[in-house]
Amino acid sequence: MRLRVAAGGPAALKVLAAAGAAAAPVRLVWGGPLGETAAAAAPLPGRDPLVPAPVIPTPRRGPPGLTGLLPPAEQPLAPLSPPWTPALELDSGTVLFSPNAICQFFFLARGEEPTDLTNQWLEWEATELQPAASAALYAQLVHGRKGLEAVEVLGKLLVHIELNLSRRGTAYLAGDTKSVADVVVWGTLFPVLQDETSLPSELQVLRTWFQSMTLSEACRKAADSVLMPKALLEFKSYLQKQPPPCLAMERATSNEPEEEEGSEPALTEEEITAAVDAWARGVAALPKPWQPQKPVLPVEGMRNVLITSALPYVNNVPHLGNIIGCVLSADTFARYCRLRNWNTLYVCGTDEYGTATETKAVEEGLTPQEICNKYNAIHTDIYRWFDISFDYFGRTTTPYQTMIAQDIFQRLLARGFLLQDTVEQLQCEDCQRFLADRFVEGTCPFCSYEEARGDQCDKCGKLINAVELKNPQCKLCRGVPVVKPTQHLFLDLPKLEEQLEPWLEQSWATGDWTANARYITRSWIRDGLKPRCITRDLKWGTPVPLDGFRDKVFYVWFDAPIGYLSITANYTDQWERWWKNPQQVELYNFMAKDNVPFHSVIFPCSLLGADDNYTLVNHLIATEYLNYEDGKFSKSRGVGVFGDMAKDTGIPADIWRFYLLYLRPEGQDSAFSWSDLMLKNNSELLNNLGNFINRAGMFVCKFFGGTVPDMVLTPDDKRLLARVTLELHQYHQLLEKVRIRDALRCILSISRHGNQYIQVNEPWKRIKGDEKDRQRAGTVTGVAVNMASMLAVMLQPYMPSVSLAIQGQLCIPPDCFVLSHNFTCTLPPGHRVGTVSPLFQKLEHDQIEALRKRFGGGQAKQTPPASVTLMAPGDPELIQELTEEVAKQGNHVRQLKANKAEKAQVDTEVAKLLELKKQLALAEGKSPEVLVPKGKRKK
């Protein structure tokens, strides 16, 4: 192999370091942007030239980013193109020209397969770190900036590395050993940070990692070889002829808002003039709000937006992570679409078939249908409380589900996309049944997590075949199952791949897929698609309509996404106008990242193979995970705050919506924190947003009799209009890209501008002055209350009840509740406002601490005893009687506490409650936990 690199070129650094770290047998050819300058081949830094080179197989398919793989005739080794870019010519003649692809190849060739975490770091380095590092290097070499000033653009990204290293407690980015991710990230950072004064002193973990990498032999020799003074001068000369790097207008994805800029970008006269013109046009400039007919159907000539959120499993109560990952994110976007006058349909429902339902039914001593009815009602109630604006919330246990799923199956069968095969499956001889995936638990074969499910590991996220589990156990009886053969049907994904790949390329090119959705999908394609089993040995599910398989049902991940179609069919008998109309309909799928492959590969393959003009996803929006305090949510293990608990806290739904959307894990995991909830409520809502809107409305009432005064705009006012307009444009740009969390910052930024505007102009003082001062007070008040009016509309997707309250207080006309790209005067002089009152209440420390303790008990990991047996249900009448007694006693305890009864009396009644709970657990066939009253500890 020959590796061509240019001395002085930053990309050469990571490539040489990777080759050295992987001991790759390459011959170096040094070159520059104008052609080869040194043809002599050299041994790789760090490698003994006398050691024989190992044989390196050419990978069958490259990992993500391995797009630089071309036949030699299409990609010559010299000259470099573009300048300063490395190139690796393999012995086969194939050329790799992507630096990251070359680095990955070296590690793959050494037998180190990339992990999911490694690939996530590489994706992040390519999309986030590289552009910022290029800008920082340009600032250093061309503009002469030094130290912290030069790396300012890297600030949030360096913190991202620091936090990830700290949270994982590992020496390296992807674990305790060095990986290709470490080399690639170090190689991008080192040209900028080689002067360690550029590294912020508070980032100690990052500093330790960076020094460790820099001192490693491979990295040190690569730096000595590439970053020579003369070569750097040539590279600087080259950069000076190039335009400065342009960073995308995207805000950081940390939990915290961006710091206020010391100096804002200058406004152009054109921007100021356009803002003033739009303001002057007033309500006439706004589009008329459009109300679709019911049921909502596609309209020719309009933008027709179909939104789905991943169907929540019906087997449990959704926790905050489920809510933000799916329904709340989709709801926020759906509300935004409606405010834009886009014809929008938002559907969701409970996913009710499959093993999870059967498992829950066994646990609770109910039939599967009774479980579905119970939890569908719970889900519906929770989403109603969170103000989720479904056009229709349905369920999958319907005749339409059977009809549509079986039709797609028959079409796949007729077109030759289904296979039949014998599979090895776990059978519990004690229970006398084949065990579906979720009836099995064991040790993950990939990461050794001891409580992995039979279909997927909660810890590493990898999909598993149940027979691959180590030390498997039947969840019903805790017996050890045996492997037995059984016949099943498979979706022929390899055969469908030739249709899938061009569709994916087209969807990626024209749609907005989140980075993690693209990465996860590429990983599946890279690893090569395999036939996927679509049947299960269960009773509760959609029956398979084929002789020899009629005792089986469809696998939930073949069946569940079809629920989007059947739920729409239950909403309207014209459902095909949405789902068989790709020419007129844009489809947005919202989900957490663990659901991505089923929506990006399996479900599209099913629809492509069915060949019935189905609407396929245009925009796949996947979140990372929301953690809870210092642990993780787990629906199956009851860890964290759940939806039905949120409404019992006394904190309004809109505050929960705001905080969850503020935390929305768009680019990385984020964590719910009670202390942070209090901080954001008190600072961002109470002191910033609520303070501004309340002051603007109160000034109208107090100083001008409830009537908006005349306004005479000064140059400062006009600049404010332009600033607000720019924030509004940014809000639209972000929400159109479904950057929901970042767009919320625009709202808070506008209210900060408003507070500053009021503070600087002091209308409460000017109203007491001469005519000129009173006029100025009127102008400031009028502009401020119009900003509040616009904020009410912008806030509606996030906090609908608060938005409605502002609309009522300021008497904003319904025709103004539509989003345009301009800040217009919607409350003109003479407009009367209503009664203005505070929108938010302060959260107190004692209140939050009480909630933290109340909900903190579930964080301790509960390991069930090995002897736990999920038995058949006991006496239903006894269970019902005990359930009622527990509820009655629980209410009695709460009443005593509310009345501040004596502690001894409360403790006595709590002990009775715990005894009743123990009796109920025994009656249900469960092993009762040792329950301890709050405030006491087990000895």
The CATH number covering residue 712 comes to: 1.10.730.10
Q: Please classify residue 255 by burial: count the beta carbons closer than 10 Å to its beta carbon, then call 0-12 exposed, 13-18 middle and 19+ buried.
A: middle
Residues 634 and 322: beta-carbon distance below 8 Å:
no
- In degrees and rounded to multiples of 5, residue 441 shows phi and psi of -130, 150
What whole-number distance in Å separates Cα of residue 193 and Cα of residue 201?
13
DSSP state of 790: H
- The DSSP annotation for 527-580 comes to H----EE-EES-SSSPBP-STT-TT-EE-HHHHTTHHHHHHHHHH-TTTHHHHT
Question: Radius of gyration of the chain from Cα atoms?
Answer: 31
Q: Which residues contact 748 (CB under 8 A, 6 or more apart)?
A: 257, 684, 688, 689
Residues 498 and 559 in one domain: yes
Same structural domain, 416 and 540: yes
The distance from CA 728 to its chain's CA centroid, rounded to whole angstroms, is 23
User: Residue 79 carries which side chain, given as an amino acid letter?
Assistant: P
Residue 51 CB partners (closer than 8 Å, separation 6+): none
* Residue 99, preceding peptide bond in cis (omega within 30° of 0): no
Measure the CA–CA gap between 69 and 63, rounded to whole angstroms: 11
In a domain, 716, yes or no: yes
- Strand, coil or helix: what is 420? strand
Q: Tell me, yes or no, whether 929 lies in a domain.
A: no
State whether 717 and 734 are in the same domain: yes
b/e map 67-86, b = 16+ CB within 10 Å: ebbeeeeebebeebeeebbb
Q: Which phi and psi (to 5°) does residue 730 adopt?
A: -65, -40
Tokens 């006439």 -> residue: 284
Strands 87-89 and 95-96: what pairing? antiparallel
- Residues 19, 218: Cα–Cα separation, whole Å: 8
Alpha carbons 224 and 228: distance in angstroms, whole number: 7
Amino acid code (one letter) for 429: E
**Residue 599 to residues 10, 568, 622, 665, 829: CA-CA distances in angstroms?**
38, 17, 10, 19, 52
Helix (H) or strand (E) holding 9: none
Q: Are strands 619-623 and 585-592 parallel, antiparallel or unpaired?
A: parallel
Report the run of H or E that residue 226 belongs to, with start and end.
Answer: helix 217-226
The model's pTM: 0.67
Q: Per the structure block, which two tokens stand in for 922?
A: 């025994």
Write the CB contacts of 519 (distance below 8 Å, at least 6 apart in sequence): 64, 119, 120, 123
Contact 347, 568 (CB under 8 A): yes
Residue 838 lies in a domain: no
Sign of dihedral through CA atoms 450, 452, 458, 461? positive
Secondary structure class of 928 (helix, strand, coil): coil
- Asked whether residue 402 falls in the same domain as residue 419, the answer is yes
3-state secondary structure of 658: helix
- 3-state DSSP assignment of residue 655: helix
In tens, the pLDDT along 505-524 reads 999 999 999 999 999 999 88
Question: What are the mean pLDDT values of the chain's consecutive 10-residue runs (939 residues total)?
Answer: 77 87 85 43 33 30 33 35 67 77 86 80 83 81 69 82 80 87 91 74 83 89 77 63 53 38 71 95 91 94 97 88 93 98 97 86 90 95 97 97 98 97 87 79 90 82 83 87 91 96 94 92 87 91 95 92 98 98 97 94 97 97 87 59 86 96 90 91 95 97 97 97 96 96 96 95 95 97 98 98 97 94 96 95 92 64 31 50 72 72 71 71 52 39
DSSP state of 466: G
Look at strands 35-42 and 27-32 and give their pairing.
Answer: antiparallel
What confidence score (pLDDT) does residue 147 get? 64
pLDDT in tens, 590-623: 999 999 999 999 999 999 999 999 999 999 999 9
Domain of 127 in residue numbering reads as: 1-32+82-245
Residues 711 and 612 in one domain: no
For residue 350, report the phi and psi dihedrals to the nearest 5 degrees: -85, 140
Identify whether 682 is part of a domain.
no
Read off the tokens for 593: 């990242």
- Number of domains the chain is built from: 5
Query: Tokens 């499956």 belong to which residue?
Result: 425
Q: Does 641 fall in a domain?
A: no
In a domain, 911, yes or no: yes
Rounded Cα gap, residues 720 and 309, in angstroms? 38
Using CA atoms, how far apart are residues 902 and 908, in angstroms rounded to an integer? 10
Q: Is residue 73 part of a domain?
A: no
Task: Count CA atoms within 13 Å of residue 421 on its CB side.
Answer: 12
Is the domain of 315 the same as that of 397?
yes
In order, the DSSP letters of 97-142 are --HHHHHHHHHHHTT-PPPHHHHHHHHHIIIIIHHHHHHHHHHHHT
Six-digit token pair at 467?
């027979």
In terms of domains, do 324 and 375 share one? yes
CB 818 within 8 A of CB 289: yes
310's CB contacts (< 8 A; 6+ apart) are: 325, 326, 589, 590, 591, 592, 595, 599
Q: Domain check: are 375 and 440 in the same one?
A: no
Helix (H, G, I), strand (E, B) or coil at 926: coil
What CATH number is associated with residue 896? Answer: 1.10.287
Distances (CA, A) of 415 to 402, 504, 531, 606, 610: 20, 21, 15, 11, 8
Do 408 and 476 belong to one domain?
no
User: 476 and 494, same structural domain?
Assistant: no
pLDDT for the residue 234? 65
Number of H helices, E strands in the chain: 35, 22
Tell me how far apart the alpha carbons of residues 754 and 216 are, in angstroms, rounded to a whole number: 52
The b/e string for 290-329 (b: 16+ C-beta within 10 A; e otherwise) is eebeebbbbeeeeebbbbbbbbbbbbbbbbbbbbbbbbbb
**Burial class of residue 835, CB neighbours in 10 A (0-12, 13-18, 19+):** exposed
Total residue length of the chain: 939
What is the Cα–Cα distance from 847 to 677, expressed in whole angstroms? 12
Cα gap 800→685, rounded to integer Å: 14
Look at residue 740 and tell me if it is in a domain: yes
> Which of 67, 126, 88, 75 lies closest to 1, judged by CA?
88
CATH code at 8?
1.20.1050.10
231 shares a domain with 318: no
Find tokens 């006009």 and name the residue: 718
Sheet of strand 392-395: strand arrangement: 392-395, 343-350, 304-309, 585-592, 619-623
Q: Are residues 306 and 201 in the same domain?
A: no
Is residue 474 within 8 A of residue 439, CB to CB? The reply is yes
Give Cβ neighbours of residue 602 (< 8 Å, ≥ 6 apart). Answer: 491, 493, 532, 557, 558, 561
C-alpha span between 821 and 726 (Å, rounded): 9
Q: What's phi and psi for 106, nearest 5 deg?
A: -60, -45
Rounded to whole angstroms, the Cα distance separating 633 from 851 reads 17
